[in-house]
Amino acid sequence: MKVRTLFTAFAVAIGAALAGAAGAAAAPAADGEVTPFIVGGGNATQTYSFMVSLQSTSGSHFCGGSLIKANWVVTAKHCVQGRSASSVRARIGTTNRTSGGTVASGAQIVTHPSYDIALLRLSTSVSQTPIAVASTSGAVGTATRIIGWGQTCAPAGGCGAPVTLQELDTSIVSDGSCLGIYGSYEICTNNPGGRAGACYGDSGGPQIKSVNGVWQLIGATSRAGNNSSTCATAPSIYMDVPAFRSWISQYAGTV
């Protein structure tokens, strides 16, 4: 694998902000007021056994992740860089980030030396079913879904993280639609209608596709595709998880 530095300081700052701005719960909507979701999405239509909320030990959500083995989670590097494993806990397999599923403590963090991807080893194996890593992410036009507890309005700091998991159906678009992308290791993902997509707090969370009716993992939320601090104003960049299969397998075993 080539070693290449992808991120300018600004891009890294945007990525870190995607992780950090989602600690507070979203304010309830007034009667008759429409509350946006994941920026343009909606409440999760199913329970995703592999969905992970990365939290502080006090239960504050800061990033998403995907369970790929009974005791391993894949997420974004900027979500866990500078944190100790013992300061991170994972709530797995629920649509409510405050209850349900299984809660496990972090035991080890492994960050990639060059790209925005990381692994969290859990202190114990959990009973939830992990998601398989797809053989490839797919071609331009591949239908995908993103899920997370990220901020539900576009402006930075404009609202908090929803309690209920959100989802949005989208698709892979050409690399030329994302600034600063390295296509061999990253995915450019559409913002439907020009105003829907991942936001602050969705970082590290899964991008998935259906293969014969079964969800498979293709991406981990990384950053905006236009370096804007306002969410969903352009396609977003996701780490291409299948491209890191060999690196992941060094630590978590074959995926």
**pLDDT score for 8:** 31
* pLDDT of the residue at 11: 38
Q: What is the pLDDT at residue 180? A: 95
Q: Which residues of 66-79 are buried (b: 16+ CB within 10 A; e: fewer)?
A: bbbbebbbbbbbbb
pLDDT in tens, 136-168: 999 999 999 999 998 877 767 767 778 999 999
Torsion angle, alpha carbons of 18, 124, 185, 149, to 10: -30
- Pairing label, strands 72-75, 88-92: unpaired
Q: Which of 192, 196, 244 shows the shortest CA–CA distance to 217? A: 244
Strands 118-122, 102-111: pairing kind: antiparallel
Instruction: Report the percent of the chain where pLDDT is more than 90.
Output: 71
CATH topology for 9-27+34-42+133-243 is Thrombin, subunit H (2.40.10)
Q: Which residues of the chain have pLDDT under 70?
A: 1-40, 155, 158
For the chain, strand residue ranges (E) read 42-43, 51-56, 61-69, 72-75, 88-92, 102-111, 118-122, 132-133, 143-148, 166-171, 186-189, 206-211, 214-224, 236-240
pLDDT of amino acid 223: 93
Same fold, 9-27+34-42+133-243 and 48-130+245-252: yes
> What pLDDT is stored for residue 2 in this prediction?
27
| pLDDT value at residue 103 | 98
Every domain of the chain and the residues it spans: 9-27+34-42+133-243, 48-130+245-252
Name the superfamily (CATH) of residues 48-130+245-252: Trypsin-like serine proteases (2.40.10.10)
Cite the active site residues: 78, 116, 203
CA distance 30 to 8: 41
For 213, half-sphere exposure in the C-beta direction (CA atoms, 13 angstrom radius) is 0
